């Protein structure tokens, strides 16, 4: 595995890999867990070479968010990726990604609105900008993202279509199902911030979501199923529920009940200082 931190060596390393076969990209912010490694394994099934980026992207963190305390474990991450057979690890510094005169932003209207876009202003602009740069820097044949960040996946798919990003396959942006702990909590680098009590309480998210999904399937209106979900989270110890919403799985249009095509339940809630997100299909 080659670890690269500057653009010129990146370009030559990528050219050499592409001469040998297709390259799949897995963008991450590091502090890798089994969710990230699942993306890497899926990538390896689909391409001759896997490139992983680790970049804690300052532009997708709001002013009062956890950029400074976001976990950084480069040595451990690198060992995991090497063992997983990754060919190239791209670890740019913030000033390589964003030189002082950097001026461009990618704004994806519509799918960026609401949900995490409302709770984290500017977040998806930061995500779309950095992912657009990563696609241009590496020019992968395909790229893999977790369904854990469902709205992010929708934003990236929209951006890739709208900007004719040159990923050769029509379905070059691949969504990988959420990897969960035994009690259902979605794996996240932010789970490391939870105290043992908060970690136990956090399992209320998938549990309350399953309850709401059962209620929706039994004919409940979204409003009552979602109110029930929010009160279950509050009783479990969550201080704030940023959102609990039923949306069209693809357009992210709000739904009032199920039955009008593929639907997705999406939740974000805060416990202590940690914000957790999850989503499930119906």
Residues that bind ligand AMP (CB under 6 A): 28-29, 35-36, 38-39, 145-146, 148-149, 176, 178-179, 186-189
**Whole-Å CA distances, 162 to 107, 154, 258:** 11, 12, 29
Minimal distance, residue 175 CB to ligand AMP, in Å: 8
In b/e form, how buried is each residue of 110-141, taking b as 16+ CB within 10 angstroms?
Answer: ebbebbbbebbebbbbbbbbbbbbbbebbbbb
- Name the CA radius of gyration of the chain, rounded: 19
Give me the least distance between CB of 38 and ligand AMP, in Å please. Answer: 6
Task: State which residue, 36 or 247, has the beta carbon closest to ligand AMP.
Answer: 36
Which of 188, 198 has the CB closer to ligand AMP? 188
Pick the closer one to ligand AMP by CB: 11 or 72: 72
247 has which bridge partners? 254, 264
> The tokens of 154 are what?
């929708």
DSSP 156-203: HHHHHHHTT---SSTT-EEEEPPPB-TTSPBP-GGGGG--HHHHHHHT
- 33 catalytic? Reply is no
Contact 186, 274 (CB under 8 A): no
Structure-block tokens of residue 240: 């704030």
* Choice between 36 and 133, CB closer to ligand AMP: 36
Give the residue at shortest CB distance from ligand AMP: 146
For the bound state, the minimum distance from the C-beta of residue 40 to ligand AMP, rounded and expressed in Å, comes to 10
> Cβ 45 to ligand AMP, closest distance in Å?
15
189 vs 230 by CB, closer to ligand AMP: 189
Q: Please state, in angstroms and rounded to a whole number, the distance separating the CA atoms of residues 165 and 139.
A: 9
For strands 263-271 and 240-248, give the pairing: antiparallel
d(Cα 242, Cα 151) in Å, to the nearest integer? 14
Question: Which of 33, 36, 49, 217 is the catalytic position?
Answer: 36
Least Å distance between CB 204 and ligand AMP? 17
Closer residue to ligand AMP (CB): 216 or 269: 269
The candidate with the shortest Cα–Cα distance to 149, out of 181, 121, 171, 117, is: 117
Q: Which residues contact 258 (CB under 8 A, 6 or more apart)?
A: 216, 217, 222, 246, 282
Minimum distance, C-beta of residue 138 to ligand AMP, in the bound complex (Å): 15
Active site residues: 36
């Amino acid at each position: 595995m080659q670890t690269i931190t500057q653009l010129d060596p990146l370009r030559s390393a990528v050219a050499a890999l592409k001469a040998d076969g297709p390259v799949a990209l897995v963008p991450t912010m590091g502090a890798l867990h089994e969710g990230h490694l699942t993306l890497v394994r899926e990538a390896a099934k689909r391409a001759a070479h896997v490139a992983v980026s680790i970049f804690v992207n300052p532009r997708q963190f709001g002013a009062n968010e956890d950029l400074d305390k976001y976990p950084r474990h480069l040595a451990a991450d690198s060992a995991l990726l090497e063992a997983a057979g990754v060919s190239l690890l791209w670890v740019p510094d913030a000033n390589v990604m964003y030189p002082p005169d950097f001026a461009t932003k990618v704004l994806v209207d519509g799918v960026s609105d609401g949900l995490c876009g409302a709770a984290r202003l500017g977040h998806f602009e930061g995500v779309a900008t950095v992912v657009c740069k990563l696609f241009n820097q590496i020019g992968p044949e395909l790229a893999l993202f977790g369904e854990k960040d469902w709205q992010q996946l929708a934003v990236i798919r929209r951006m890739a279509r709208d900007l004719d990003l040159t990923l050769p396959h029509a379905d070059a942006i691949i969504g990988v199902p959420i990897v969960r702990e035994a009690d259902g909590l979605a794996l996240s680098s932010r789970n490391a911030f939870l105290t043992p009590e908060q970690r136990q309480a956090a399992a209320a998210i998938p549990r309350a979501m399953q309850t709401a999904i059962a209620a929706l399937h039994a004919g409940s209106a979204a409003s009552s199923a979602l109110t029930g979900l929010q009160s279950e989270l509050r009783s479990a110890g969550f201080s704030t529920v940023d959102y609990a919403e039923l949306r069209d799985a693809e357009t992210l249009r709000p739904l009032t009940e199920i039955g009008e095509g593929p639907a997705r339940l999406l939740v974000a809630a805060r416990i202590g200082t940690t914000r957790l997100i999850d989503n499930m299909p119906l």
